[in-house]
Copies of this chain bind each other. A is one copy, B any other.
Amino acid sequence: MSDRLRPSTRIPAVAGELLQGVRGTPPLTHCITNAVVTGFTANALLAVGAAPAMVDIVGEAGMFARIASGLVVNLGTPTPEQRAAILEAVRGADAAGTPWVLDPVAVGALPVRTALASELLAHRPTAVRGNPSEILALAGDGAGGRGVDAVDTPDAAADAARSIAARTGAVVAVSGPVDLLTDGERVIRIANGDALLTRVTGGGCALGAVMAAFLGASRAKDVDALDAVAAAALVYTVAAERAAAVAGGPGSFAVALLDALDAVGADDVAARARTDEGML
């Protein structure tokens, strides 16, 4: 971790508080996500205590984003119908003040979603979650990845994250061995997690949805967007550590992760957290 950052007990406390909030009043979490991970994402949300709703058709996505507690827009398999529904949804979210997370899967490598992601940034997402390649590409700094796999480290994308945050007002969360999250001024790092998360499809995508749920829950608390997104990442990666401890491989890890998202509590989070925070 950076010398400029100091270990945080504040973030684990916020994570515990929001986790209880999610379970007490399950945030209705609107997901427009890719066809590969939609089942796993819904199960991750249900496991952690949220109420998922996959509403991705034109004529429904906009009105639903207005009543949802949070929204995640994941660009993994953006069919024409989904692209239109996404624009409807972000306009609905904007009108109603619904917090939303943009997950720019494979942006930079593939043209249709890259153009859409640029357009979506103008709608000012509450948060952006991606791997370093995606964040670099989104900031206009990257050469593009090979798809969904990260080829750079979160540190290498710190400037890109700051640039996106400054330009759009979004919290930017860069996933990697040590996650880096920033609102353009403050920075939080989380060293929890397990490499098995990269061996399961949806390991990152489901986190974007959990961030949307935590953002939804944060509205009833005095918690800002950076802290809410960091809380989601911390709960998720602590659950991943619990799961990895009992898994025999990537298949059983995915199953155990759902069990762990259900079982994880504020105490686990406090005991296992390896996070620091400071100024960029």
Interface string of A127-156 (1 = CB under 8 A from B): 000000000000000000011110000000
A280 contact set on B, CB distance < 8 A = none
| Whole-angstrom CA separation of A53 from B57 in the bound complex | 23
A262 contact set on B, CB distance < 8 A = 199, 249-251
A96 CB-CB contact with B under 8 Å: no
Chain B residue at smallest Cβ distance from A144: B67
Which of these, B111, B249, B257, contacts A258 with CB under 8 Å? B249
Which of these, B53, B56, B63, B254, contacts A111 with CB under 8 Å? B63
| Whole-angstrom CA separation of A37 from B39 in the bound complex | 6
Residues of A in contact (CB 8 Å), total: 60
Whether B249 and A47, one on each chain, are in contact in the complex, defined by CB atoms closer than 8 angstroms, is yes
Chain B residue at smallest Cβ distance from A55: B110
Whether A106 and B250, one on each chain, are in contact in the complex, defined by CB atoms closer than 8 angstroms, is no
Whether B147 and A28, one on each chain, are in contact in the complex, defined by CB atoms closer than 8 angstroms, is yes
Q: Which of A67, A81, A106, A248 has the most CB of B within 10 A?
A: A248
Distance in Å: Cβ of A32 to nearest Cβ of chain B: 10
| Whole-angstrom CA separation of A64 from B51 in the bound complex | 35
Whether A147 and B53, one on each chain, are in contact in the complex, defined by CB atoms closer than 8 angstroms, is yes
Whether A251 and B110, one on each chain, are in contact in the complex, defined by CB atoms closer than 8 angstroms, is no
Distance in Å: Cβ of A186 to nearest Cβ of chain B: 34
A121 CB-CB contact with B under 8 Å: no
| Given A43-B254, A60-B112, A252-B259; 18 other pairs, CB 8 A cutoff | A28-B146, A36-B42, A43-B250, A43-B251, A46-B201, A47-B199, A51-B146, A57-B77, A58-B112, A59-B111, A59-B112, A64-B109, A79-B81, A249-B259, A250-B259, A251-B259, A254-B255, A254-B258
